Amino acid sequence: MRPDTQSDIIMIRRLKRLAFAALVIACIAATVVLFLPEKEAAAPATSGTDAVDALPVPMPQTDTGETPHEPDHKGALAEWNTYHGGNTLRGFAETTLPDAPVVLWTVLAGGPVRQTPVAHRGIVFAATARGVVIAVTLEGRELWRRDLAAPEPGSDARGDIRIEAPITAVAGKVFVGADLGDVFALRADTGEVAWRVNIGGPARGAINYSDDGARVFVLDQDVGELVCLNADTGAVAWRSAGVDRSDASPAVAGDIAVFGSCAAALHIVSTDSGERMRDIAIENGGGQIAGGAALADGFACAGVRDGRILCADVAAGKLAWITTVSEDEAFSTPAVHDAWVIMTTSDGRIHALNRETGEIRWQQDLEGAPASPIIAGDKIVAAADGVLFFLRLEDGKRLWQKQVADEISGPAVARDMLIVGGEDGTITALGADG
């Protein structure tokens, strides 16, 4: 299986554009500054064990004196803890979005924000590819930022921290995985590093969490081992047996975690012991999985390399159905709700399937490389090549679209707002006008 992921596909498109843009940039580079650069050095850490530093806020914001909201506990509206909602990765929010959202605020992150922001306890969190994590209130006021690549005390050299994995926020902490295997837990209120461990292999899938938030789970990409860490201390509770390279993100529900791999299978692991309970093979070639599997009512839905979408009965250990929707990769994470499975493929199309039968209900062309879609009330929200789309769930009719940046992440939902990250270094919130 070639190691392309959604980020890789987007990067290829981006490089093609940059080849043409280079001539223009050369002419104006001396007079135009596009982005605020990330700070290359910061004050030494306050303790010998904390090798990362908080950075000062680069954009003054009006301080309203408001404190972050506590969750309202209204289903999917209360939190958006992972890149695709909760720990089941279903990508669903019971909310009513405005017909034509407007930009409510934009915060500069100082580096590309390629992964979907998350929301926890009334705070939005995002990470740049260069290792900076930022916390912003729902009103767009920056609270803190933490440079995970800041120099060690007594050194001027920045750490080698690159973030391509989606971040997660739950139980008062923000969890971040890095390409060289470092996993960080930051305190959500201050950005202080609670702990840092290395799992021995790249952490490029999203970190996920147990239902009670006491444990977190991260995949070692190289060998497909699922690692369980104590959320408070970072201590390793167990490591599952390796399955093969895995570019996926694990989904969690109750006592099981489910993820796919290059072994062309879904793997079900006990969250209590790490025992690999069963594997569900995806036959006939091209069954490698690089996106997340969405869990709902005992079934797991996922896409595979050869453009098929599947639904598996987790307890029975077998496929309920598998449907071909494209000749290109289906490496995003599907949105699942009621009778719907919504999936994007790398050819720029979005597909709606009947959750019970796998029958295709409708298909729509988004004309770009799409991120993982979500379902918000009676709408589908999707992002492709910097454009945010609303589609009607019932029939796929395009209802609204807006160019937000050259490239944007998949959307998050927080209190009837949509939050996206941008390749241009922005975090943008969209919602009702007034």
Query: How far is the C-alpha of 248 from the C-alpha of 259, rounded, in Å?
Result: 6
What's the pLDDT at 78? 59
From 398, 421, 430, 424, select the one nearest 134 (Cα to Cα): 421
Q: Hey, which CATH number is domain 6-16+54-60+69-431, 3.50.50.60, 2.130.10.10, 2.40.50.140, 2.60.40.1110?
A: 2.130.10.10
- pLDDT digits 0-9 by tens, 4-46: 444 454 454 454 444 434 433 443 343 333 334 443 333 333 3
- pLDDT digits 0-9 by tens, 223-244: 999 999 999 999 999 999 999 9
Query: How far is the C-alpha of 15 from the C-alpha of 22, rounded, in Å?
Result: 10
What's the pLDDT at 105? 98
Q: Cβ distance 79 to 120 under 8 Å?
A: yes
Q: Which amino acid is at 389?
A: F
What residue segments make up the domains of the chain, in order of their start?
Answer: 6-16+54-60+69-431
Across 290-314, average pLDDT? 98
37 burial (CB, 10 Å; 0-12 / 13-18 / 19+) is exposed
- Write the DSSP symbol of residue 75: G
Residue 53 has pLDDT above 70, yes or no: no
**Beta 265-270 vs 276-281: how paired, if at all?**
antiparallel
Query: How far is the C-alpha of 344 from the C-alpha of 348, rounded, in Å?
Result: 7
CB count within 10 Å of CB 294 equals 28
CB count within 10 Å of CB 8 equals 15
Integer CA distances (angstroms), 133 to 136, 375, 432, in order: 10, 27, 27
The CA angle 134-137-139, to the nearest 5 degrees, is 130
Residue 316's pLDDT band, with cuts at 50, 70 and 90, is: very high
Q: Cβ distance 246 to 262 under 8 Å?
A: yes
Across 299-315, average pLDDT? 98
From 366, 396, 395, 391, select the one nearest 379 (Cα to Cα): 391
